Amino acid sequence: MTKDMLDSTAIATAIASAMQGAISRHSMELDDIKAEADAVQAKRDDEMVTREGTLRTLADMSASNGWTAKQVDAGAAIVASMGNGKLPASVKTFANELRVVMQPGTREAFPSIMNAALEVWGSEELARTMDGKDADTPARKAWKRRYHTIVAATQALPMKGRLLDTAETIVAYARECDPSIDVKKTLKRVAALMQELSGIAINFPEQDVKAAYDMLASVTEASLTTARNHMLNVAAPTIAAAPMTAQEMKAAEHAERTTTPEPTPETADTILDGRKPMPGAVDLGALTTPYNGAAFQRAA
């Protein structure tokens, strides 16, 4: 080994040794950051589980006590006014979510709604475990968390008159709530694109960039809605007719045998002449060029 190689090895060793402390500290920092993030996530998960239990508990309590809608609303209003109106927005939101599940028109159905939502979430978690990012998870895409899935499915009853007490109905509703097809959210994305293009146009005043900006400026909530509805109508599947019953088929066959169609002018002439058109015969009247008899004669 040459002196230069020895020197290089010694230098590399010195650098690695000097960096070891920094690398260790960085690794510890990353571990601390991850541990802190995991702790925060665990705290949030515990809070959501607690909220889920509270929803079920108060729905049962409301049902067992026979609380009226007026009583529930009054109680929720008192809670919202606590703290001189300085309660965090999340607490006020939770109070309203409790109010919804406690209402007479919701509390009886809430257990089945919640169980269906838990079933959907469990299925999606399993799909994520098996398929990763390619998993089909409409509820997670629409509402992000299990608790919010329960709340959204419950609120659909008083707000939209839809009882979502099966996994199938919740999945269908989740697809409807997909944020990527929400008109208002899509319009915000268009506005963000316009802002991005505007910044580009300032530094690069290229005509096509300006044209793209002008085209996006004409997009409105109404135009997006019209485009979406048109796409759905065009893509709507054709509904096949229901198959005929045996009795209907017999009736149709009998009608076909016993019904004589009115002769058209062409068929009437054929009947009067006593001739039937030969299969595959050339309709001379349909030719676009003048008839040339020689063209149809068999070659000698």
Residue spans of the domains in the chain: they are: 15-178, 183-234
Q: How far is CA 218 from the centre of its chain?
A: 26
> What average pLDDT score do residues 278-293 get?
43
Q: How far apart are the C-alpha atoms of 159 and 136, rounded to whole Å?
A: 27
| 249 vs 123, higher pLDDT | 123
Of 86-90, 213-217, 275-279, 289-293, the poorest mean pLDDT is in: 289-293
CA atoms in the 13 A half-sphere facing the CB of 146: 22
8-state DSSP, 291: -
> What average pLDDT score do residues 238-266 get?
56
> What average pLDDT score do residues 230-258 get?
61
Residue in 207, 101, 102 with CA at minimum distance from that of residue 155: 101
Residue in 153, 149, 129, 150 with CA at minimum distance from that of residue 141: 149
Type of residue at 37: A
**Other beta carbons less than 10 A from residue 95's beta carbon:** 18
Of 5-9, 13-17, 138-142, the poorest mean pLDDT is in: 5-9
Structure confidence at residue 290 as a pLDDT band (50, 70, 90): very low
**Which pTM value belongs to this model?**
0.57
pLDDT value of position 165: 97
pLDDT value of position 127: 95
> Mean pLDDT of all residues in the chain?
78
pLDDT value of position 243: 56
Q: Tokens 């096949």 belong to which residue?
A: 240
pLDDT value of position 6: 54
